[in-house]
Structure 1
């Protein structure tokens, strides 16, 4: 399919690279493509970024049939623009489509469309250290119909915007509240896919944690309320003795791409990495025994986010003296070094755009 391109006649003023937030500013253009039952995906186009007029009965508003992805484009020191493992994002996008009864997209075409959009808005990719262009592909149901069934029509969009650090703490450790009351997902549900409902389910606990002074929530399993699953926007790792532990993928945990990259790096370095069930009790007991060295979250938005404090059942643990741990720092330096093409990429993770 040929991608039609309509350039904006009213380009927006770009923000300073030194004072970027996250998810607040958007580039000049967006990619759109439609799906119609019997016709398939069609009419791919890049158009000026702006509002879209929809019927109030749109199925996504009422039944939540929507999925999304998140990745970044990076400007290197020699002024090239690259992506990090975008094929994994496209693969996971289709896994989400499968779970929510949304027609799959051609992964190669979607990646080509993403590259074309970035080329059109290449001047929006910031160049300050630690900044990037955030990319949000998403698909949602567009039938104007009040009834519970998969939609017969969909829209696939990609929007982008320049971003800085996701957490205001940056690489300073964040405070995490361990949630024991609310449940986000269970095995067999939709916790393992990037769908809007997962994040809606997390808002109440996240708001209560924020009111108590905590940055994010650490979710426990939805059945026994004892096994660690993930942080609201990140997968989680613990360094216990000489072992790095991360919860195994069990159907209710998002298979993070940064998580996968960290596991592959740790194995590459010859470190002991275990994907297994780990209870919050084990984490706190490891701390009491002096074995819990550090903990950190991993995700596209924050890359590596050190955890400086865990709060659970009136118990508070301060990790590594409230400072970033050695392994957290090493992983962050290695991942960002590869992403910005400042370190060797032995895995072939970096994909050039411009």
Structure 2
């Protein structure tokens, strides 16, 4: 049974201020009036389930999260439908992945029902912040961090969980479907066997930042990583999973391992591909195979997928040795069809045959 959340109504911004912010929300830069919060202690377990005004946390300088990065997070979206209702997409999968991440980071596992309730209560209270423009949604960021004030290297006995909401537009900005360039690095690794690659935690993203800077310096929107052992097997991008489409219609994607985050959107894509009767293979894919396949015309499409960017066509792969352009930089038919199918389900324009959507309000 889900625990009841106490609601502490904040004054918030005026309707006029909110309307001005929602006119061009960008991605992840503005936030709604409230946040959900639950605390945990080793002695008392989870307690004080509440929705409060969005505000800074008061943390001791010795809090464990500052020194040992003991934290985990998730990312999901709520979508406005034409009838005024608001729906979340596959949040139960996010809740289960969040538990796996927390388990790996030595954090307490939040019950799935509390995760879902923390999202629903916040969206219900701040439903006026759900944007209704094209490519827009309410991005939700659940996260958990260690706050024990002690410098001993051991799991925290005090933890805070919270959810914040950010009205957002397209992740890469602009309008329409714009293919992106990907920089592949062999110098930096995102994760390694036995590490935290399969978990969604800040340390993985911190490790990718210098490589992302390298990508941007070379005119690319995202960085791609290969394995940390042989430096040849494609794993994932800085924040998305990768798919290749062959000339004969086969979809290929790197198989999951302990070094790859199991994307929620990735799972949805695999299901849509099966629904369409297309052939899909999850296996090890070398970077050289991708390069050669692009250059020969064997791979006619590449696309990346993730909660923030949904499905985004890839224009080229690039590294210090050169650039490999995919089909004249034009989005492929399979990529666009999958993207349309997915977004139509999310925005209530197509039947949700897999039960991915859940109405909040």
Give the TM-score of the pair, scaled to structure 1.
0.98
Match for 1:284 among 291, 303, 314? Answer: 291
Measured in 2, the distance between the counterparts of 1:89 and 1:278 equals 26
The equivalent of 1:216 in structure 2 is 222
Q: State the 1:169 CA deviation.
A: 5.2
Measured in 2, the distance between the counterparts of 1:2 and 1:271 equals 45
Q: Which runs of 5+ in 2 are unaligned?
A: none
The equivalent of 1:186 in structure 2 is 192
The equivalent of 1:249 in structure 2 is 256
The equivalent of 2:164 in structure 1 is 159
The answer to whether the 8 Å contact 1:236/1:296 transfers is yes
The answer to whether the 8 Å contact 1:73/1:134 transfers is yes
Measured in 2, the distance between the counterparts of 1:319 and 1:293 equals 6
Match for 1:120 among 119, 125, 147? Answer: 125
Measured in 2, the distance between the counterparts of 1:303 and 1:159 equals 20
Q: Which structure 2 residues correspond to residues 198-347 of structure 1 after superposition, within 5 A?
A: 198-242=204-248, 243-347=250-354
User: Is 2:4 the counterpart of 1:2?
Assistant: yes
Query: SS in structure 2 opposite 1:159?
Result: strand
The equivalent of 1:102 in structure 2 is 107
Measured in 1, the distance between the counterparts of 2:207 and 2:189 equals 8
Match for 2:142 among 129, 137, 146? Answer: 137
Measured in 1, the distance between the counterparts of 2:23 and 2:11 equals 27
Change in Cα spacing, 1:169 to 1:175, as seen in structure 2 (3 Å) is: farther
Measured in 2, the distance between the counterparts of 1:272 and 1:334 equals 17
| Aligned alpha-carbon RMSD (Å) | 1.1
Measured in 2, the distance between the counterparts of 1:287 and 1:4 equals 55
Deviations 1:116-162 (A, max 9, x none): 11000000001111100000000000100001100001000000010
The equivalent of 1:353 in structure 2 is 360
Measured in 1, the distance between the counterparts of 2:255 and 2:210 equals 25
Match for 2:74 among 69, 74, 77? Answer: 69
Deviations 1:270-320 (A, max 9, x none): 101000000011111112322110101000001011100111341211112
The equivalent of 2:43 in structure 1 is 38
Match for 1:60 among 65, 71, 74? Answer: 65
The answer to whether the 8 Å contact 1:17/1:131 transfers is no
Q: State the 1:234 CA deviation.
A: 0.3
The answer to whether the 8 Å contact 2:294/2:325 transfers is no
Measured in 2, the distance between the counterparts of 1:287 and 1:336 equals 27
Measured in 1, the distance between the counterparts of 2:236 and 2:264 equals 14
